Amino acid sequence: MSVRSPIRIVEVGPRDGLQNERTILPTEVKVAFVNALSKTGLSEIEVSSFVSPTWVPQLADAEDVFKRIERAPGLIYSALVPNEPGLERALAVGVAKIAVFTAASETFNKKNTNATIAESLERFRPVVARAKTQSLPVRGYVSTAFYCPYEGKIQPERVKPVAQALLDLGVDELSLADTIGKATPRDLRALLETVLLFAPQDKLALHLHDTYGLAIANALVAWEEYGICAFDASAGGLGGCPYASGASGNLATEDLVYALQASGAQVAVKPENVVAATKILASYVKRSSESRLGRVLQPSA
């Protein structure tokens, strides 16, 4: 049981957060945001996506962002890659880790990537193989691992073959995503009981959106009961998927850090610095921060 292992947080705000904003932020603001996040103690930042700019215009400047950020030593700057053209773009700007993404529900995957689950896995085969030749670590997302906005509850038995297929392709890490933030601790336990039968605990991460306010509870259950030590989170609770109606922000990084530190976990991130990084976005992101700690530290905000 690795309950006492240090926590690894993957900051997804610059990608998951900004992909869902109505406003397309200027590249220099994104760069400043990533640079500020680089000073918070995080070990990995998902910076952008090399997806179709028609599908996600908010992140069409992925190359420029990667070229302009100041990369802190030891910090991993990763990106989403849906296919081989995306990988070529990512390699051209020195991305250090890539994430491929599919789902446990066919309807969501089709709307998000214009492919069936099987087709998306076939797309990933050459992507993962080529990433390996470049010594790039690969993460595999399984979206809608608990609920689908179109198909409702997704049973763990439907997550299993997708997660297993990603592991078989050679991904180094699996991120199980509660895309619409609806999972309860009971759902989480059921999924982890199934997935941990074939996936090593240290290859699992949880990607929790917080629509119903249960993401912190789920993260604490995953850590305390199952020893999961890798979590995705988003500064200020930004986030959502343009192709998942009803998805609200990710679990706020600063709230996750607070909850885990207060529970005795080793987390190297300074939550007040994460809150400070979100201030860079204040005049561009219209909705108020979802973060509890943000309100505590900036009561007038």
Tokens encoding 52: 């179709």
Q: Does 210 bind Mg ion (CB under 5 A)?
A: no
Q: Interface with ligand HMG includes 207 (CB under 6 A)?
A: yes
Which one, of 266, 253, 262, 265, lies nearest residue 293 by Cα?
253
Does residue 82 touch ligand HMG according to CB under 6 A? yes
Pairwise CA distance, residues 56 & 24, whole Å:
10
Neighbours of 224 (CB within 10 A): 14
101 binds ligand HMG (CB under 6 A): yes
Residue 52 interacts with ligand HMG (CB under 6 A): yes or no:
yes
Beta strand pairing call for 147-148 and 152-153: antiparallel
Closest CB to Mg ion among 227 and 246?
246
Stretch that binds ligand HMG, among 3-11, 80-88, 259-267, 273-281 (CB under 6 A): 80-88
Per partner kind, with CB cut-offs from 5 to 8 A, the member of ligand HMG, Mg ion, none near residue 86 is ligand HMG
Residue 99 is inside which H or E element, if any?
strand 97-103
Residue 138 contact, options ligand HMG, Mg ion, none, Cβ 5-8 Å cut-off depending on partner type = none
Residues annotated as part of the active site: 241
Max alpha carbon distance in the chain (Å)? 51
Closer CB to ligand HMG, 51 or 214, in the complex: 51
Binding positions for Mg ion, 3-62, rule CB under 5 A: 16
Using DSSP bridges, classify how beta strands 8-11 and 44-49 pair: parallel, antiparallel or unpaired.
parallel
Q: Which parts of this chain interact with Mg ion (CB under 5 A)?
A: 16
